[in-house]
Chains A and B, each alone.
Chain A
């Protein structure tokens, strides 16, 4: 059997930079270029450059449809602003965690996880006839050419624009200054979880002040054909900032320190947003798919809650390890690793509510030994001066 994995427009750049490549969500992506530790440090102390082109981008023009599938009330989201929200199934399970961008031309852009993009697209499309008075009547275009896609008029309520778009993350304390030197746009004025359109290194971009690292910075969307030009310009201009290309390895250790959930690890279709500590992404006063099940789950009471914990010895918790209390298995680690920034080892786990209070101690079964751990508040790491 031949398994083909997709390549981003930056694939040749990664190979040229000597990256170790890995398969992630159906894509061949850089795992690391030099060292995960060094790439992690560059993002915390200077600036790191990420290829995120594997992420999916769905243009949902139909506002009723978007409201129906997303857990958060988008009516309050002004154009140019971004919200983190869930797509849930009827049982309240998390199909995906996404960013919703409110587009000035109407409707939304949804940025979704790489491995979920086809499923998300099918899910949203399957519900596109929900509002029968929808002006577009549920017609679908699978792809649109050009960038940005919302410039295009025409029928359809959901477009998968991802195949034509690249995405580059610029993250770290020096990221804003770096991008500012490459653009005439007032990027420093863009608020956290807001976006503008503008040229960076003469490339037409959607400039989004978002990230998955716990640092300040931008995520820059551009057309596939411009991705190499944008990537190289950022690497070159960033030399004086100490820029490093950073792979998925560092992305994972960074997001874990920032307490950000990874779909497929910490949350999935079998977990609901209440258990995952994502109550704040729910607008239970509006109707959305999964709402009733979530309300019922809350009334019943939760049997498990996602917590952050730190190891009290030097052992490393990993996805799937058991949480033990008085020799009983009581929970499961969903993410765990070293925290390079904090200097100890950290993880997230589902545990019974009785063990979820900060300061509670339990064991992590590491190769048959119950290694001591203590519940701590999420996020593990907060950047010194958030904007």
Chain B
């Protein structure tokens, strides 16, 4: 089980882990289970500036295409190149080798949820 302490979540089901003014983001365990088999990701170029909540790309599963949103603002510093040939990493290890992009010059987003609050949010969503 991945260590989720220090990780924060958006209501659009992305996670982010900050390390100084850089951050790594991906999609949550719940999101990957809802999407099912991920087969393709359309991701931004390194250097692109993103605002918190901005659409950063598209994730496609066998079932459907869905938008991805950046949980925090910053500049794209790295894109997970392994996902080109192994999009299934997002399913297999969403908090580890299935990470999506890294950002630098990160600006905080106070609207993000901690793991407990996110779990409660997901419970509320799937229960309704």
* Residues of A near any B CB (own CB < 8 A): 20, 31-32, 35-37, 249, 253, 314-316, 318, 337-338, 345, 367
CB-CB contacts below 8 Å: B43-95 with A = 58, 60, 62-63, 65, 84, 88, 91
**In the complex where A37-B88, A367-B58 touch, is A249 in contact with B40 (Cβ < 8 A)?**
no
Task: Give the complex CA separation of A249 and B39 in angstroms.
Answer: 14
Find chain A residues with CB under 8 A from B60 CB.
Answer: 316
For the A-B complex, the count of residue pairs with Cβ-Cβ distances under 8 Å equals: 35
Sample of 16 more A-B contacts, CB < 8 Å, known A37-B37, A314-B40, A338-B62:
A32-B36, A35-B37, A36-B36, A36-B37, A36-B62, A36-B63, A249-B36, A249-B63, A253-B62, A315-B42, A316-B39, A316-B40, A316-B60, A318-B65, A338-B40, A367-B42
Q: Can you list 9 A-B contacts (CB < 8 A)?
A: A35-B36, A36-B37, A253-B62, A316-B65, A318-B65, A337-B62, A338-B40, A338-B62, A345-B40
Most buried by A among B62, B84, B88: B62
The binding surface of chain A is classed by DSSP as mixed
* Residues of B near any A CB (own CB < 8 A): 36-37, 39-40, 42, 58, 60, 62-63, 65, 84, 88, 91
Find chain A residues with CB under 8 A from B63 CB.
Answer: 31, 36, 249
Task: Give the complex CA separation of A20 and B39 in angstroms.
Answer: 19
Task: Give the complex CA separation of A253 and B62 in angstroms.
Answer: 8
**In the complex where A35-B36, A316-B39, A316-B40 touch, is A249 in contact with B65 (Cβ < 8 A)?**
no
Nearest chain-A residue to B39 (Cβ)?
Answer: A338
Find chain B residues with CB under 8 A from A318 CB.
Answer: 65
Find chain A residues with CB under 8 A from B91 CB.
Answer: 35
Task: Give the complex CA separation of A69 and B122 in angstroms.
Answer: 51
